[in-house]
């Protein structure tokens, strides 16, 4: 049995011999000749580079849904979220009412050192106005990012004050952990946004900072986590499993492999809860599947997406790349979690999530189609689990649509809520300054009623009004919580935001806490 070795499955190799040298040579010659004829003989001049990119897109469109071509100009942006850093000023931003607005400032980054604050509205960059010009996210990145050590001048409106900043760009870490805090004494909550290069370092730091002694329980929130590097999913799984327990198996034309735990994990016993939803995929499903199959953790939430294909990354001569599916993976019990698909029908494949929603899967576990032929047994307790598309949770929590009325959707969707929160924090930052969520809540309690009334008045100025008092009452709790969470983020960062949301609005989080509190009885009846 093979010992676990950190494996970077998103490889960077070029190996034409895989396909057979004679086959490659003949067909490469055919394609290159055709492109040369187009370039030299066609009646009009052509952009052969664009044609070759179009050819690559067409080839990949005929394969499985997860094999893709990445043009050279998009390679860097594609890698940044997983590589864990970029060079820039260090802000998270949103374009609200055609205005570039600072949502948060990355701690320790150059923007923070220069004095930028959440809520600042950037109206000029290097002396050029960026307000009301139809700015896009790509435009902002092009203007604010740049080589380490270079400078960029920004002009901001902070309330009625105009301020100028000169910011020296630097390397900016991209954190993959969105939140990490002690949910209750001894219980650590970690929200992992993606499986990135630095995720295990962040995970270790979070445990060290939060757990003075051995944790009484760990909640890993993978909702919305679409995956990332497989070797990181293996490393995270290894922290919870015993020596030689299989984490994942891979089967492909040239790959027949499995990865097992080293037995050196930091938390091999004790409560583990994994929260998932319909947007948890790939590496998230590897981790959740391993925890479920070994009866090591309880999976809470809704059925995951179902991406069980492994991609390798190949460089092409012009700097572009292709991610090619090379294997399917199996959970320790042997399940294939890949959602069925037809080659060349990507659009139909990605409609699967909408079809599940339409069938009612988000609201009732009984709506999930689970044929007996896809039954498997967990490896310690012999519980029944299912393959055939995603990880079905042990504890199903329906999607909560309470209060999702048109007024709520408009206030959030138009950016009115965020705009109001930014303006509010500009005026009340000193009154809400806090070092903990508890301290923030105590201060906000004195302002909450007036703050909510102000939001409703602000929305009315934007011609956003509820149809009735009944609709406003139905939206009140969610709007109040979202406003409070946005203000907490401005004061305490993303940790503050998620602590408010989880405590006041999140049934999956509450169910996860309940599972930890009742451990090990939580497995009874699953």
Q: List the pLDDT tens digit at each of the 526 positions of the chain.
A: 444 443 334 333 334 344 444 445 666 778 888 888 888 888 998 888 888 899 999 999 999 999 999 999 888 878 877 776 788 898 888 787 788 988 778 777 888 888 888 778 899 999 999 988 888 888 898 899 999 999 999 999 887 788 999 999 998 877 899 999 999 999 999 999 999 999 999 999 999 999 888 999 999 999 999 999 999 999 999 999 999 999 999 999 888 899 999 999 999 999 999 999 999 999 999 999 999 999 999 999 999 999 999 999 999 989 999 999 999 999 999 999 999 999 988 888 888 878 888 888 888 888 888 788 789 999 999 999 999 889 999 999 998 887 778 999 899 888 889 889 988 988 898 999 999 999 999 999 999 999 999 999 999 999 999 999 999 999 999 999 999 999 999 899 889 999 999 999 899 999 999 999 999 888 887 7
Structure-block tokens of residue 85: 């850093």
Distance between CA 84 and CA 37 in Å, rounded?
43
Using left for φ > 0, alpha for ψ between -120 and 50, and beta otherwise, residue 227 falls in left
What's the CATH class of domain 86-173?
mainly beta
What residues does 158 pair with on adjacent strands?
A: 161
Distance between CA 171 and CA 80 in Å, rounded?
12
**Phi, psi angle pair for 257, to nearest 5°:** -145, 160
Which pLDDT belongs to residue 431?
94
Distances 380 to 285, 292, 294, 296, 333 between C-alpha atoms, Å: 19, 10, 6, 9, 10
The DSSP secondary-structure symbol of 490 reads H
Distance between CA 395 and CA 15 in Å, rounded?
44
Which pLDDT belongs to residue 396?
96
CB 105 within 8 A of CB 427: no
Distance between CA 100 and CA 114 in Å, rounded?
18
Distances 270 to 55, 267, 436, 459, 493 between C-alpha atoms, Å: 52, 7, 28, 47, 29
Which pLDDT belongs to residue 236?
98
Which pLDDT belongs to residue 25?
61
DSSP reduced 3-state for 25: helix
Distance between CA 135 and CA 125 in Å, rounded?
12
Which pLDDT belongs to residue 10?
39
**Cβ neighbours around 127 below 10 Å, total:** 9
Of 306, 307, 287, nearest to 297 by C-alpha is 287
Structure-block tokens of residue 480: 């109040």
Which pLDDT belongs to residue 475?
93
Q: Which residues of 478-494 are buried (b: 16+ CB within 10 A; e: fewer)?
A: bbbbbbbbbbbbbbbbb
CA atoms within 13 A of residue 364's CA, in its CB half-sphere: 6
Which pLDDT belongs to residue 14?
36
Tell me whether residue 330 is exposed, middle or buried, using C-beta atoms within 10 angstroms of its C-beta: 0 to 12, 13 to 18, 19 or more: buried
Q: How far is CA 426 from the centre of its chain?
A: 29
Q: What angle do CA 76, 79, 84 make, to 5 degrees?
A: 115
Tell me whether residue 50 is exposed, middle or buried, using C-beta atoms within 10 angstroms of its C-beta: 0 to 12, 13 to 18, 19 or more: exposed
My answer on whether omega of the bond before 363 falls inside 30° of 0, hence cis, is no
Q: Residue 502: in which H helix or E strand, if any?
A: helix 494-505
Beta strands at 91-96 and 121-125: parallel, antiparallel or unpaired: unpaired
What's the CATH class of domain 177-399?
alpha beta
pTM over 0.75: yes
Which pLDDT belongs to residue 84?
64
CA atoms within 13 A of residue 17's CA, in its CB half-sphere: 2
Distances 12 to 15, 74, 230, 370, 375 between C-alpha atoms, Å: 10, 16, 14, 38, 37
Distance between CA 70 and CA 76 in Å, rounded?
10
């Amino acid at each position: 049995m093979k010992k676990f070795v950190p494996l970077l499955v998103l490889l960077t190799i070029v190996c034409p011999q895989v396909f057979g040298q004679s086959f490659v040579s003949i067909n490469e010659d055919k394609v290159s000749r055709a492109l040369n004829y187009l370039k030299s003989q066609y009646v009009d001049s052509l952009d052969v580079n664009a044609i070759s990119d179009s050819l690559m897109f067409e080839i990949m469109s005929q394969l499985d849904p997860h094999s893709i071509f990445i043009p050279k100009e998009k390679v860097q942006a594609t890698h940044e979220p997983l590589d864990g850093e970029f060079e820039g000023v260090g802000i998270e931003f949103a374009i609200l009412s055609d205005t570039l607005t600072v949502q948060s400032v990355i701690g320790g980054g150059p923007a923070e050192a220069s004095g930028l604050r959440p809520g600042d509205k950037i109206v000029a960059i290097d002396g050029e106005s960026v307000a009301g010009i139809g700015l896009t996210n790509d435009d902002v990145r092009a203007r604010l990012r740049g080589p380490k050590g270079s400078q960029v001048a920004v002009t901001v409106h902070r309330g009625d004050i105009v301020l100028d900043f000169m910011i020296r760009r630097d390397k900016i870490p991209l954190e993959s952990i969105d939140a990490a805090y002690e949910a209750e004494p001894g219980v650590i909550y970690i929200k992992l946004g993606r499986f990135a290069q630095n995720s295990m370092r962040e995970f270790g730091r979070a445990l060290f900072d939060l757990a003075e002694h051995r944790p009484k329980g760990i909640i890993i929130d993978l909702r919305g986590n679409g995956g990332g590097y497989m070797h990181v999913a293996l490393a995270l799984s290894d922290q919870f499993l015993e020596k030689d327990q299989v984490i994942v198996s891979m089967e492909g034309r040239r790959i027949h492999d499995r990865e097992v735990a080293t037995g050196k994990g930091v938390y091999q016993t004790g409560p583990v809860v994994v929260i998932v939803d319909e947007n948890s995929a790939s590496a998230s499903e590897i981790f959740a599947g391993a925890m479920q199959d070994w009866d090591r953790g309880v999976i809470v939430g809704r059925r995951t997406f179902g991406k069980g294909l492994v991609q390798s990354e190949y460089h092409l001569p012009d700097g572009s790349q292709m991610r090619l599916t090379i294997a399917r993976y199996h959970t320790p019990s042997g399940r294939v979690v890949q959602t069925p698909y037809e080659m060349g029908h990507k659009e139909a494949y990605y409609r699967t999530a909408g079809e599940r929603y339409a069938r009612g899967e988000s609201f009732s576990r009984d709506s999930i189609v689970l044929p007996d032929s896809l039954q498997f047994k967990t490896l310690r307790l012999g519980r029944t689990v299912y393959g055939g598309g995603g990880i079905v949770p042990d504890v199903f929590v329906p999607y909560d649509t309470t209060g999702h009325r048109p007024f709520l959707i408009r206030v959030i969707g138009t950016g009115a809520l965020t705009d109001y929160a930014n303006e509010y924090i500009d005026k009340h930052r000193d009154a809400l300054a806090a070092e903990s969520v508890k301290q923030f809540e105590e201060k906000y309690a004195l302002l909450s009623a007036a703050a909510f009334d102000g939001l409703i008045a602000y929305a009315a100025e934007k011609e956003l009004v509820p149809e009735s008092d009944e609709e406003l009452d139905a939206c009140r709790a969610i709007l109040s919580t979202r406003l409070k969470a946005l203000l907490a983020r401005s004061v305490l960062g993303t940790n503050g935001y998620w602590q408010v949301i989880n405590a006041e609005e999140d049934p999956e989080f509450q169910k996860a806490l309940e599972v930890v509190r009742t451990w090990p009885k939580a497995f009874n009846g699953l």
